[in-house]
Amino acid sequence: VMSSNRDFVRISSLSGRDLIFRRLSNKFAGPPAFRTPRVTRWCDVQYYTESLAPLPSPSRPPHLFPSLRSTMFRGYSFLALSLLSTSRRAAVAFAPSTRSASLRRFGVSKLGSTSDDDFAGFSSEVAFMFPGQGAQFVGMCGSLAAEVPAAAALFAEASSILGYDLLARCTEGPKELLDSTEVSQPAIFVASMAAVEKLRASEGGDAAVAAATCAMGLSLGEYSALCFADAISFADGVRITKARGEAMQAAADAADSSMVSVIGLPKEQVAELCAAASERSGENVRIANYLCAGNYAVSGASKACDAVEEIAKPEFKARMTVRLAVAGAFHTDFMQPAVGALEEVLAGVEIKKPRIPVVSNVDARPHSDPAVIKKLLATQVTAPVLWENTMDSVLGSGFERAVELGPGKVTAGILKRFNKKAQVENIQV
């Protein structure tokens, strides 16, 4: 990708294939706010579909990649590079349609895959939704395990993998233990899959389960959606969520960070609020969860989150802020230490092509290439959750009804914010 100062940056697809590479000289490309002097390291690349202001088309040097400018900067593509505190990785964002066309121009399908387009134009007629961390509560799944043998069998299998009685922690707590990241993540995953068994055991049985035309999960819930879609096995799902929870807890323990829900502001103003709080505190905070209009969660250093709470109402006229009961700044670079551990466990499991589309949190589109899915799952812990984009995609793809499976009613509530008349069935645990 050509920068405005005629430097180049190394670009790797999510499958690890290098597309273009050239050493940066003395600056990052992009808007002035993103420029950092004296950077001479190689940069890896992450893909996002978060909207950023497009850069003007740069002048084309005559000696390298003569068709590159017209391909990659056609008024729809955009580039944002930022120096991250730990790994000096660049964040590169393209508009989805232009990104795909641009990569194919270099002989690579979307995100470096030759088989990642199988779910293009997917149907969301019946959408199955799975909750994320925070949905857990003491007492969940007790009666379910007693009434549905298949659900009890899932808890028994999970307990043998985890090394402790997961059902007891769900039903008896204590709350502090169940709420801990390393316990709540496998607990919510197993509870969600137990909800699938509850649906299967109900009137309609397998037909009710087979009715799903697509699936999605909020953050952690993406693993439940992938398991439901037969992309990962239940046992591997337990192993992954266990490792993910432990790694994210360790990353949270290593830094003083938090999350705050900001209610009543559009995302543009929330971004301005984060910028003001970062400037005031001298620490970083950014939008981490794009949930729905007027409901965004921000993550960052605790001092910056304190500043968000201090100025959100008096200076930005937010309706309210709520400090979230999570271990740390999820979906930001504070979770970078967790990526390596997650990549290690993902490398040891098999991910198959999903039998139905599963919409990714990272770019709000379904993927059919297992290698791309695996890379996106590792990226997810440091990338913003684009749930708002996911809902827009689902509601615009022939949506008729949704089924929410697992503890709580968070995803159903968000869906209702988009469409008050949306038909949603809750399979509670």
Of 3, 4, 257, 331, which one is the catalytic site residue? 331
Long-range pairs for 322-325: beta carbons < 8 A, 24 or more residues apart: 322/260, 322/261, 322/263, 323/258, 323/259, 323/260, 323/261, 324/134, 324/258, 324/259, 324/260, 324/261, 324/297, 325/134, 325/179
For the chain, the first-to-last Cα distance in angstroms comes to 49
In this structure, the number of other CB atoms found within 10 A of the CB of residue 282 comes to 10
**What per-residue confidence (pLDDT) applies to 93?**
35
Is 219 among the catalytic positions? yes
**What per-residue confidence (pLDDT) applies to 204?**
76
**What per-residue confidence (pLDDT) applies to 292?**
96
| Buried b / exposed e along 39-70 (16+ C-beta atoms within 10 A) | beeebebbbbbbebeebeebebeeeebeebbe
d(CA 241, CA 234): 11
Locus of tokens 């993902």: 346
Phi, psi of 390, rounded to the nearest 5 degrees: -60, -45
**What per-residue confidence (pLDDT) applies to 104?**
39
**What per-residue confidence (pLDDT) applies to 312?**
98
3-state secondary structure of 333: helix
d(CA 60, CA 3): 10
Q: For domain 126-252+333-382+392-427, give the CATH number.
A: 3.40.366.10
d(CA 317, CA 306): 16
In this structure, are residues 58 and 3 in contact, taking their beta carbons and an 8 Å threshold? yes
Of 100, 219, 258, 281, which one is the catalytic site residue? 219
Contacts of residue 370, Cβ cutoff 8 Å, sequence gap at least 6: 231, 350, 351, 352, 353
Tokens standing for residue 413: 């509530």
Phi, psi of 392, rounded to the nearest 5 degrees: -60, -45
d(CA 423, CA 403): 9
- Residues of the chain falling short of pLDDT 70: 1-114
Label the pairing between strands 90-93 and 45-48. parallel
**What per-residue confidence (pLDDT) applies to 325?**
84
Q: How many CA atoms lie within 13 A of 199 on its CB side?
A: 23
**What per-residue confidence (pLDDT) applies to 310?**
98
Closest CA to 351 of 217, 190, 240: 240
Is 331 among the catalytic positions? yes
d(CA 405, CA 391): 17
Class of domain 256-323: alpha beta
In this structure, are residues 127 and 402 in contact, taking their beta carbons and an 8 Å threshold? yes
**What per-residue confidence (pLDDT) applies to 74?**
36
Domains 126-252+333-382+392-427 and 256-323 share a fold: no
d(CA 422, CA 283): 40
Q: In the chain, what are the domain boundaries?
A: 1-113, 126-252+333-382+392-427, 256-323
